[in-house]
């Protein structure tokens, strides 16, 4: 992680602002020979795309991704892949007021203090549009994972919207694609629709918790100490706009457990170790166990709201601000495909790192 690049062997550098001509990602270190087309990546971008239903920003961007390099005759060449998305709907007049005033809870003020210059037209680099580039890069990672770890499957979904959590007893993988919130609980989907509708009409916004699960991750991925898979995933998720908390497995709740309750007991299955529970979220000592890798992150509510808030101007005068424009009442919804993309990138990176240091087969056999 360094400013605008993440990853070690599979490295993604994103660039671009919300109201410039384009944004994108430079993907370096991808294995060669992976089938990749713009269509494959578009599939994932379409899931994140704004304006798809009344619950997300009405900004209408086709978010069409182009591949400018690194792919030849439908396959990755092993050299850097440039993914570019043009900005088409840059109705910057909506943002006029923000040029002088700082939105509370937004990067406006810190960007101004740090850089002394700021693309006020729409948050510039701090805009959530940056995450479109991550989703495109994550699409490349997913295709490479298909080749390297065929059974591996990354799925994100919402588990909490504002104060309303899902009921784990109703958890159903098949529900995730059936509602606009990617929530695995049909009842919650119904309840949340009404709740969010009210919020949208009031011009306010709300936070959310997203969970991303990777099934079929082989044991042995990750590294101890600063390269813990937990660490890498925490950094990946926390780097998403508006994220303020990250949990692996039981997360913050692990604090309340006793050692005897927290220990995921091990027995021997036909294909190796089997765990009787998964408090650890599939990671022990920073290295994957072969269980599901489970990460959750909290997205704070958008700071661009219609409710007037007290603030100051660049010249230091106290005032109030109301942010008009087209915003998401719950940006957390669109963070679901972003979290999936980050999970895919981190896992691919660590599969490559593991292959580099250890080789294609793990040396430690059990049984």
**CA end-to-end span of the chain:** 38
**16 near 25, Cβ under 8 Å?**
no
Q: Tokens 């008009």: give the residue.
A: 324
Instruction: Give the nearest distance from C-beta 281 to a second copy in angstroms.
Output: 7
Q: Tokens 């599969």: give the residue.
A: 351
Size of the chain, expressed as the number of residues it contains: 367
- Taking the least distance from each CB to a second copy, the nearer of 159 and 189 is 159
The site string for a second copy over 148-167 (x = CB under 8 A, - otherwise) reads ------------xxxx----
Nearest to 358, CA basis, from 217, 222, 216, 214: 222
Instruction: Give the nearest distance from C-beta 279 to a second copy in angstroms.
Output: 7
Instruction: Give the nearest distance from C-beta 330 to a second copy in angstroms.
Output: 10
SS3 assignment, position 66: strand
Give the side-chain half-sphere CA count within 13 A for 127: 26
Instruction: Give the nearest distance from C-beta 151 to a second copy in angstroms.
Output: 17
SS3 assignment, position 72: strand
Interacting residues with a second copy between 58 and 77 (CB under 8 A): 66, 68-70, 72-73, 75-77
The correct pick among 64, 238, 324, 326 for binding a second copy (CB under 8 A) is 238
Longest dimension (CA), the chain: 71
The correct pick among 50, 139, 220, 339 for binding a second copy (CB under 8 A) is 220
Chain Cα centroid distance, residue 362 = 29
**14 near 137, Cβ under 8 Å?**
yes
The correct pick among 88, 172, 197, 253 for binding a second copy (CB under 8 A) is 253
For a second copy, which stretch binds (CB under 8 A), given 17-25, 45-53, 90-98, 135-143?
17-25
Q: Tokens 């997913």: give the residue.
A: 142
State the burial class of residue 113 (Cβ atoms within 10 Å of its Cβ: 0-12, 13-18, 19+). exposed
| 50 counts as binding a second copy under rule CB under 8 A | no
- Taking the least distance from each CB to a second copy, the nearer of 174 and 315 is 315
| 347 counts as binding a second copy under rule CB under 8 A | no
- Taking the least distance from each CB to a second copy, the nearer of 90 and 262 is 262
Q: How far apart are CA 34 and CA 144, in angstroms?
A: 6
Interacting residues with a second copy between 176 and 205 (CB under 8 A): 199, 204-205
Instruction: Give the nearest distance from C-beta 102 to a second copy in angstroms.
Output: 6
The correct pick among 52, 254, 324, 326 for binding a second copy (CB under 8 A) is 254
Interacting residues with a second copy between 306 and 325 (CB under 8 A): 307, 309-312, 314-318
Interacting residues with a second copy between 268 and 307 (CB under 8 A): 268, 273, 276, 279-281, 283-289, 296, 298-305, 307
Per-residue tokens: 62: 């086709």
């Amino acid at each position: 992680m360094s400013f605008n690049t993440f990853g070690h062997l599979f490295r993604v550098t994103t660039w671009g602002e919300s109201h410039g001509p384009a944004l994108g990602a430079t993907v370096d270190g991808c294995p060669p020979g992976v089938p990749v087309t713009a269509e494959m990546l578009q599939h994932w971008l379409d899931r994140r795309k704004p304006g798809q239903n009344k619950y997300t920003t009405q900004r209408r961007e086709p978010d069409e991704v182009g591949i400018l390099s690194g792919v030849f005759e439908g396959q990755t060449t092993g050299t850097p892949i440039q993914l570019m998305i043009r900005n088409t709907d840059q109705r910057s007049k909506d943002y006029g007021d923000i040029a002088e005033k700082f939105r509370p809870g937004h990067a406006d003020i810190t960007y101004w203090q740090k850089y002394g210059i700021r693309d006020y037209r729409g948050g510039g680099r701090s805009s959530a549009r940056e995450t479109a580039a991550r989703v495109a890069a994550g699409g490349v990672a997913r295709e490479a994972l298909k080749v390297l770890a065929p059974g591996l499957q990354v799925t994100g979904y919402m588990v909490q919207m504002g104060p309303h959590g899902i009921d784990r007893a109703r958890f159903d993988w098949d529900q995730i694609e059936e509602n606009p919130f990617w929530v695995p609980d049909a009842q919650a989907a119904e309840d949340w629709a009404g709740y969010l509708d009210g919020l949208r009409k009031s011009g306010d916004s709300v936070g959310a918790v997203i969970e991303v699960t990777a099934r079929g991750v082989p044991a042995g991925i990750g590294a101890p100490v600063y390269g813990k898979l937990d660490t890498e995933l925490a950094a990946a998720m926390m780097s998403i706009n508006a994220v303020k908390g990250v949990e692996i497995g039981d997360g913050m709740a692990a604090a309340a457990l006793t050692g005897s309750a927290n220990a995921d007991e091990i027995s021997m299955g036909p294909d190796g170790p089997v765990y009787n529970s998964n408090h650890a979220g599939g990671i022990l000592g920073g290295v994957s166990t072969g269980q599901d890798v489970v990460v959750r992150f909290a997205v704070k509510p958008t700071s661009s709201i219609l409710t007037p808030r007290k603030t100051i101007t660049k010249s230091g005068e106290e005032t109030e601000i109301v942010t008009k424009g087209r915003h998401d009442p719950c940006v957390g919804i669109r963070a679901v495909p972003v979290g999936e993309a980050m999970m895919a990138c981190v896992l691919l990176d660590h599969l490559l790192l593991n292959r580099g240091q250890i080789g294609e087969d793990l040396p430690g056999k059990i049984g």
